[in-house]
Structure 1
Amino acid sequence: MAQEIFPGRFTADIGRESVTVFLIGMRANRWWKARRITRVASSMTVMMRHLATHPDSGLLGSEQWFGRTTILLSYWESPEHLRRFAADKDSPHLGPWRTFMKQVAGSGDVGVWHETYQVPASGIEVVYNGMPLFGLAKATSHVPVRPGSNTAKQRMGSAVRTAPVPGA
């Protein structure tokens, strides 16, 4: 299925005070342990399917890249939403995490990592040129670059805002 390409320059209107950026991934250290690698990787598919059917989870959107090192970039409403999902006994996270820690962690077969960033709107600058919906604009709101948001300096420190900010 072909994605619509948006000619011209676009940015994101995040419509909030901040965004939680969560990067998570795995690295196949021993490719001949394919069964173990597949088991770890497939648990992420289940988690993402669950999150897609639970919009109240706080996940705004995500992008994923596959290779020896697989990366999932996700945008969340808040760190609390992310932690709530990770700790929820009814979500498909705790079980696979516990299984990984018991059966795979420390073996060197598969490496896992994550990084979390709480980014204030004033610290965000994005631009997309000739791209399909992608990244933060796909997760929030995709808007054309216009006067006042034409340069990186203009976009950084004065978040594009057309949507109301919660609590304002």
Structure 2
Amino acid sequence: MGTEVIEGRRTAAAEGEVVVFLIGMRINKLRRMRSWLPVFRAMPRMLRELAQDKESGLLGYRLMLGGPRLFTVVQYWETKEKLLAYAMDADKEHRPAWTAYNRSARNAGGVVGIWHETYVVPAGRYENIYVNMPEFGLGAAHGTQPVARRGDRAADRLKVA
């Protein structure tokens, strides 16, 4: 994501279906660092791997902190198929990390929680606006364009009457 402010009203230049993947962890017992630190360290490895592989399907991501114990990554993907392929690939970082988490979580007493949500949003069913912002979110993943190309109002961009 760039830091240069783009003046004016813009919207994401995404076309067609949009895939948004939210994934995160919550540290339930701060003092049990040995149990949650491996989970915490796994995500940066996965993101580096995905960013280096232009064919992976990851278009962009943003790290978000939800307090001292909750960490979230918002990811934008080309297709749900590429997201699922990465998740299942035994030769990539995700599958071994998931296996290790499951093995250690069984006996860890709820020290760390993980979660994810996947949204496959059909064309015309997402809307966004960025005013005097650097490229951000879906706009950073797909690029941006002037709002007028999609419609001046949110209802126009959502193709809602």
- Alpha-carbon distance, 1:147 to partner: 5.9
SS state at 2:124 partner: helix
**Unmatched runs of 5 consecutive residues or more in structure 1:** 159-168
CA 1:85–1:120: 2 relative to 1, 3 Å: same
Pairing of 1:1-168 with structure 2 (within 5 A): 3-15=3-15, 17-66=16-65, 67=67, 68-105=69-106, 107-146=109-148, 149-157=151-159
SS state at 1:115 partner: strand
- Alpha-carbon distance, 1:60 to partner: 1.2
1:124·1:157 contact (CA, 8 Å) conserved in 2? no
TM (norm. structure 2) is 0.90
- Alpha-carbon distance, 1:136 to partner: 0.3
Q: CA RMSD in A?
A: 1.7
Question: 4+ residue stretches of structure 1 with deviation over 3 A?
Answer: none
User: Percent identity over the alignment?
Assistant: 39
CA 1:154–1:31: 2 relative to 1, 3 Å: same
TM (norm. structure 1) is 0.86
1:123·1:156 contact (CA, 8 Å) conserved in 2? yes
118-127 or 105-114: bigger deviation: 105-114
Q: How far apart, CA to CA, are the structure 1 residues paired with 2:148 and 2:59?
A: 24
- Alpha-carbon distance, 1:121 to partner: 1.6
- The one-letter code of the counterpart of 1:63 is R
- The one-letter code of the counterpart of 2:29 is R
1:121·1:157 contact (CA, 8 Å) conserved in 2? no
Q: How far apart, CA to CA, are the structure 2 residues paired with 1:60 and 1:111?
A: 26
2-11 or 87-96: bigger deviation: 2-11
SS state at 2:34 partner: helix
2:25·2:71 contact (CA, 8 Å) conserved in 1? yes
- The one-letter code of the counterpart of 1:11 is T
